[in-house]
């Protein structure tokens, strides 16, 4: 013990410290490991699949127990039959695509409007005082409430659909960006200023990347709102002049008293909403959080 | 109990006005709050750091050390007095590493190079060189969260050096590190400082750290912050924090610092 102390004292040079430093780095550095594929399967895929199987089983049991009339609660296989029928007719993809393309186009427009709006609200005090409360308020207004107004202004047209999407999604996207910017640690801004990132360069190099997680959360919510608003609009303002989308399909099934079709419509709307989130937003968000060491799982 | 300090004014080293300086603070005052009810934090600070000098600014917590560094860094303006930094915008290192988590270690350094106007082709090799300088060659692609506390501060040091400033301001940069890591970083910092023509203004509340590093230790009083006393430290480098000479001077300075703090409990 004493001898190691003296040798350490006798060698205050760089070689000794370099070794010490390497040891410290190795001991203290965070180990980043990837979760193995089987783990992903077990913890991420199995639970939702079991949930779906459970729902189907309960459904089937209810049908077998004849709790209600067949036209109110059809057999799962009847819904499946509706699906295959649409597929054979070749209309399934058309219906889904009509709605998805509307939704994505509307979302892109909401993105193009919501982003500069959010920047303005976050950075210009007057604009924030004027528009901030309105934007937050609009988020709690169900955008289906805009459908009657949009129909009167624009008629039963594609423009009305897009108007409803915008009114639903723009506030979410702008608010997401505002809260993302508000939550940027002031330390990053100060560090940015000391290395010369001021003005527009500060916004581009520091503020926007730092606000990205909040912005992405806003985009995700914005998509959910877009999709919901669009379905409401298609459902209420359905007309043969517009292409057949999921909302119209649902409404047509209702007028035909076609319960398997109604359930299929609901499932398809749900499926598309989840799929876009899983394919686009979740990976984006996970990637951003993971590179920053913020991913919880 | 403690005698009134007679060193309060005479301790300030008198530097001729025309001598070159890395930073020159001239009767600097700083108060926060509305003009009527302003709270003075810094009072009449006059201090020069000579080119290539290593100065430690020592004081109790809350005495205005960070405020002073922010003024020198240009992040805030003094209420009165002037601050000259002839070498242009100084580099600043914080207690928190303040690295940008959306960039890799190497890219953090390259951002500083880019903002300084270094052409794209030269950035990567220069970032690698700076990482080598802080003995982190091979960590270019590491993410901030993959680095240990000591490694983060070394990347932060490399990023500060990337500004190629003549003056490096450091605000308790090692305060959150464990003793052994801090020791290693003291060594790295003195090595880099002695290999370059850098002037360093290093803020700390740790007396031993100040004596370990500095050529000159400046003690600030609290509320308001004034230059209470200065010590020239002529212990040869490389020093170690446990050296007897470092310990002896630390005892002397600690006594003085305690006296400063005690004065505030007397009324
Ligand atoms: N922006 C500010 N507004 C008001 N008071 C401040 C501000 N910044 C610092 N202070 C006050 O100035 C004093 C010195 O703070 P600081 O410079 O951070 O001290 P130190 O770094 O020496 O611990 C503290 O009392 C603090 O409350
Ligand atoms: Mg401080």
pLDDT in tens, A66-87: 888 888 888 889 999 999 998 9
Does A21 sit within 8 Å of B92, measured CB to CB? no
The residue whose two tokens read 């359905």 is A238
Nearest atom in ligand 1 to the alpha carbon of residue B59 is 22
Mean pLDDT of the region A225-230: 90
Quote the pLDDT of residue B16.
Answer: 52
CATH (one of 3.30.1130.10, 1.10.3720.10, 1.10.300.10, 2.60.120.10) for A89-291: 1.10.3720.10
Cβ-based neighbour number of residue A295 at 10 Å: 13
pLDDT, tens only, B144-182: 988 988 899 999 999 999 998 899 999 999 998 888 889
Residues with CB under 5 A from ligand 2 (ion): B 66
User: Ligand 2 centroid vs B11 CA: distance in angstroms?
Assistant: 23
The pLDDT confidence band at residue B127, using thresholds 50, 70 and 90, is very high
User: Ligand 1 centroid vs B41 CA: distance in angstroms?
Assistant: 7
The pLDDT confidence band at residue A189, using thresholds 50, 70 and 90, is very high
Q: Rounded to a whole number, what is the distance in Å from the CA of A196 to chain B's nearest CA?
A: 6
User: For ligand 1, atom 18, which residue shows the shortest CA distance?
Assistant: B66
Mean pLDDT of the region B86-91: 87
> In a mutagenesis test of the B interface, which of A9, A24, A34, A291 is the best target, namely the one with the most B β-carbons within 10 Å?
A24
pLDDT at A5 over 70: no
C-alpha A209/C-alpha A204 separation (Å) is 7
Q: Rounded to a whole number, what is the distance in Å from the CA of B78 to chain A's nearest CA?
A: 17
What is the average pLDDT score of chain A?
A: 86
Looking at per-residue pLDDT, the higher value among A144 and A241 belongs to A144
Mean pLDDT of the region B111-133: 93
Decide whether any atom of ligand 1 lies within 6 Å of the B264 Cβ: no
pLDDT at A116 over 60: yes
pLDDT at B55 over 50: yes
User: Ligand 2 centroid vs B60 CA: distance in angstroms?
Assistant: 9
> Do A160 and A199 meet the contact criterion of CB atoms below 8 Å apart?
no
> Do A234 and A150 meet the contact criterion of CB atoms below 8 Å apart?
no
Q: What are the chain B neighbours of A32 within 8 Å (beta carbons)? A: 143, 146
Quote the pLDDT of residue A246.
Answer: 92
> In a mutagenesis test of the B interface, which of A29, A186, A191, A216 is the best target, namely the one with the most B β-carbons within 10 Å?
A191
Q: Which residues contact B61 (CB under 8 A, 6 or more apart)?
A: B205
> In a mutagenesis test of the B interface, which of A26, A29, A194, A288 is the best target, namely the one with the most B β-carbons within 10 Å?
A194
**For chain B, domain boundaries:** 34-90+166-267, 99-164
pLDDT, tens only, A243-285: 889 999 999 999 998 899 999 999 999 999 999 988 999 899 8
DSSP codes, B167-209: EEEEESTTTTS-HHHHHHHHHHHHHHHHHS--EEEEEES-HHH
Q: Rounded to a whole number, what is the distance in Å from the CA of B118 to chain A's nearest CA?
A: 13
**Which of B112, B144, B151 has the CB atom closest to A195's CB atom?**
B112
CA distances A202 to A64, A189, A192, B57, Å, are: 65, 8, 7, 30
Quote the pLDDT of residue A54.
Answer: 94
pLDDT at B72 over 60: yes
Mean pLDDT of the region B122-129: 94
Q: What is the ipTM of this complex?
A: 0.83
Q: Does domain B34-90+166-267 have CATH number 3.40.50.720?
A: no
Mean pLDDT of the region B9-34: 71
pLDDT at B12 over 50: no
Nearest atom in ligand 1 to the alpha carbon of residue B67 is 17
């Amino acid at each position: 013990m004493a001898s190691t102390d003296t040798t350490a004292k006798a060698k205050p040079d760089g070689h000794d410290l370099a070794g010490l430093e390497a040891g410290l780095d190795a001991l203290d550095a965070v180990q980043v490991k990837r979760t193995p594929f089987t783990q992903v399967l077990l913890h991420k895929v199995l639970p939702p699949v079991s949930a779906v199987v459970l729902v189907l089983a309960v459904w089937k049991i209810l049908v077998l127990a004849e709790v209600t009339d067949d036209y109110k609660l059809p057999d799962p296989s009847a819904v499946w039959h509706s699906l295959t029928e649409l597929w054979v007719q070749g209309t399934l993809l058309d219906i889904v695509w009509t709605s998805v393309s509307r939704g994505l186009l509307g979302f892109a427009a909401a993105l193009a409007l919501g982003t500069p709006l959010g920047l303005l609200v976050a950075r210009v005090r007057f604009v924030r005082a004027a528009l901030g409360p309105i934007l937050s308020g609009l988020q709690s207004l169900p955008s289906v409430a805009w459908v009657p107004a949009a129909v009167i202004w624009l008629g039963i047209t594609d423009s009305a659909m897009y108007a409803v999407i915008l009114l639903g999604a723009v506030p979410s996207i702008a608010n997401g960006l505002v809260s993302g910017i508000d939550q940027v640690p002031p330390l990053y801004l100060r560090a940015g200023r000391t290395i010369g990132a001021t003005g527009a360069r500060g916004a581009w190099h520091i503020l926007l990347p730092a606000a990205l997680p909040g912005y992405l959360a806003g985009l995700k919510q914005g998509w959910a709102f877009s999709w919901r608003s669009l379905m409401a609009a298609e459902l209420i303002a359905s007309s043969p002049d517009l292409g057949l989308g999921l909302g119209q399909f649902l409404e047509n099934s209702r007028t035909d008293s076609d319960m398997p079709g109604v359930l299929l419509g609901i499932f398809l709307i749900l499926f598309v909403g989840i799929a876009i989130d899983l394919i686009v937003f979740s990976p984006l968000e996970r990637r951003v959080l993971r590179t920053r060491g913020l991913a919880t799982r | 109990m403690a005698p009134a300090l007679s060193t309060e004014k005479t301790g300030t080293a008198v530097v001729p006005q025309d001598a070159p300086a890395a930073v020159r603070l001239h009767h600097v005052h700083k108060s926060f709050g509305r003009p009527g009810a302003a709270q003075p934090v810094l009072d009449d600070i006059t201090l020069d750091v000579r080119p290539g000098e290593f100065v430690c600014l020592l004081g109790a917590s809350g005495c205005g050390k960070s405020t002073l560094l922010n003024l020198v860094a240009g992040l805030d303006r003094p209420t009165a007095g002037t601050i000259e930094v002839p070498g242009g915008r100084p580099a600043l290192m914080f207690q928190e590493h303040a690295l940008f988590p959306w960039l890799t270690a190497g890219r953090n350094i390259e951002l500083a190079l880019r903002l300084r106007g270094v052409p794209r082709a030269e950035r990567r090799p220069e970032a690698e060189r700076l990482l080598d300088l802080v003995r982190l060659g091979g960590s270019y692609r590491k993410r901030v969260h993959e680095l240990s506390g000591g490694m983060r501060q070394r990347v932060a040091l490399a990023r500060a050096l990337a500004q190629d400033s003549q003056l490096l301001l450091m605000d308790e940069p090692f305060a959150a590190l464990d003793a052994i890591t801090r020791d290693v970083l003291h060594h790295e910092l003195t090595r880099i400082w002695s290999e370059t023509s850098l002037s360093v203004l290093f803020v700390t509340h740790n007396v031993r750290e100040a004596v370990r590093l500095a050529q000159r230790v400046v003690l600030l009083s609290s509320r308001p912050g004034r230059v209470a006393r200065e010590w020239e430290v002529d212990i040869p480098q490389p020093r170690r924090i446990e050296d007897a000479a470092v310990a002896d001077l630390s005892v002397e300075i600690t006594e003085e610092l305690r006296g400063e703090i005690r004065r505030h409990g007397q009324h």
